[in-house]
Amino acid sequence: MTLDRATLITLAAAGSAAVLAGAFAFQHIGGLAPCKLCIWQRWPYAVAVVLGLIGMAAPRAAIAYAGAAAALTTSAIGLYHTGVERKWWEGPSTCTGGNSEDLSAMTGSELLSLDGGAAIVMCDEVAWSLMGLSMASWNALIGLGLAALWIAAARRPA
């Protein structure tokens, strides 16, 4: 059975929505606060969901290619984040280096807060892993899989 473009776009958008839901579940149910790079990885998924909604109504190849670009973007950020976690290269100075007391990353109100403030989540520390792969690594792989689905959608006749 061959799936048409609209169906593949729907599947790709649903996959992106599922990844976002999972990220929010890890954050709000699992208590794993995201770092700066984790947040960056969420935005392309949100774009892909919006593109999917548009693509369901108007299943155009250009929309599917844009969805693939969004998936490849989150995959690239995930690969970059994996490299930061594994110390292959430096990450953003505001969330790496093992210094959870990096005052330069805090706003004035955070510095003056009597609540103790939220801890800075470091980008170079692995908060969770499965089969030796961090969430960033899994994100890179899932993003590639979703990009392949988006590209398959773009190559299908409408």
Q: Looking at the domain assignment, is residue 82 inside a domain? A: yes
What does the buried/exposed string (b/e) look like for 58-77 if buried means 16 or more CB atoms within 10 Å of the residue's CB?
A: ebbbebbbbbbebbbbbbeb
Q: What are phi and psi of 145, to 5 degrees?
A: -60, -45
41: CATH:
1.20.1550.10
For the residues 11-30, what does the mean pLDDT come to?
93
Residue 114 is predicted with a pLDDT of 55
For the chain, give the mean pLDDT: 86
19-32 average pLDDT score: 90
Domain-located, residue 111: no
Count of structural domains within the chain: 1
In tens, the pLDDT along 139-154 reads 999 999 999 999 999 9
Instruction: Establish if 36 belongs to a structural domain.
Output: yes
pTM beyond 0.85: the answer is no
Query: Could you tell me which of 80, 83, 75 has the C-alpha nearest to residue 148?
Result: 75
Across the range 114-134, mean pLDDT stands at 73
Decide if 104 is inside a domain. no
pLDDT digits (tens, 9 = 90+) for 58-104: 989 999 999 999 999 999 999 999 989 888 988 888 777 654 455 56
Which domain does 74 fall in, by range? 5-93+120-155
Q: What is the pLDDT of residue 15?
A: 96
d(CA 148, CA 129): 24
Asked if residue 101 is part of any domain, the answer here is no
- For residue 115, what pLDDT is reported? 57
Tell me what pLDDT residue 153 has.
95
Q: Distance (Å, rounded) from C-alpha 111 to C-alpha 91?
A: 23
In whole angstroms, what is the distance from residue 40 CA to residue 70 CA? 12
